[in-house]
Structure 1
Amino acid sequence: MYESEERRIHDSVGLIGLRAHATSVGLVQLTAELVRAGVLDEAAVDRIKDAIVKELSFSRARSASKEEFERSTRLRLDGLFAGKEHFGDLPPKPPGSID
């Protein structure tokens, strides 16, 4: 998908308010169901995660490195889709960080 098309979808989704946790939970569940039914393969799930990472990247802080943001977001998505990470979990704090 071209970036202009991705931007159009980003704007449209924002306009109708689909940035809700319920929508995200539904997407993860739907994806899991489609994988179990043999409709989606791992490559398709990877493309779904790639689309999510690109979408989230549009709203990252300008001061954040795009590469690091996308890498860390992808790792969290991998865990979420694998059932190892739960909605609402905070990312681990970097070593030496202060509460």
Structure 2
Amino acid sequence: MEPTETRKLRESIDLLGIRAHATAVGMIQIAIELRRAGVLDEAAMERIKDAMLGDIMLSKPPSADAVEYEASLRRRLDALFAGRESFGSKPPAFLRPGG
């Protein structure tokens, strides 16, 4: 999704009040279940992750290197969607104080 489209989608979601972590966890689990059932292929999973990544990148801390930040987020999204990472693990180093 283009940044402009992502901003519009974020504004619509904000207006609906859909900002809770529970919503994101549920959406990730739905995507995992649909992939396991053969409803979503890898290309669809990548588009879902790309949409999430695009929105998260809008909030990139100014001090964070964009390439490193995006690569780290993509690795974490890949792990979440593969079921290899829990939803409550510690944040990446660049989001931790002193990281």
Q: Contact 2:72–2:92 (CA<8 Å) still a contact in 1?
A: no
Partner deviation per Cα, 1:40-99 (whole Å, 9 max, x = no partner): 0011101111111110010121221221111101101111111110111014658xxx7x
- What RMSD over aligned residues (CA atoms) do the two structures have, in Å? 2.2
Identity %: 52
Amino acid at match of 1:32: I
**Residues 79-90 of structure 1: pairs in structure 2 closer than 5 A:** 79-90=79-90
The number of residue pairs the alignment matches comes to: 97
Q: Contact 2:53–2:74 (CA<8 Å) still a contact in 1?
A: yes
Q: Paired residue for 1:57?
A: 57
- Structure 2 SS opposite 1:90: coil
State the distance in 1 between where 2:18 and 2:70 align.
Answer: 21
TM-score (norm 1): 0.84
Q: Which of these two proteins has the greater Rg computed from alpha carbons? A: 1
TM-score (norm 2): 0.84
Q: Which has the higher contact order (CA 8 A, sep 6+)?
A: 2
Unmatched 5+ residue regions in structure 2? none
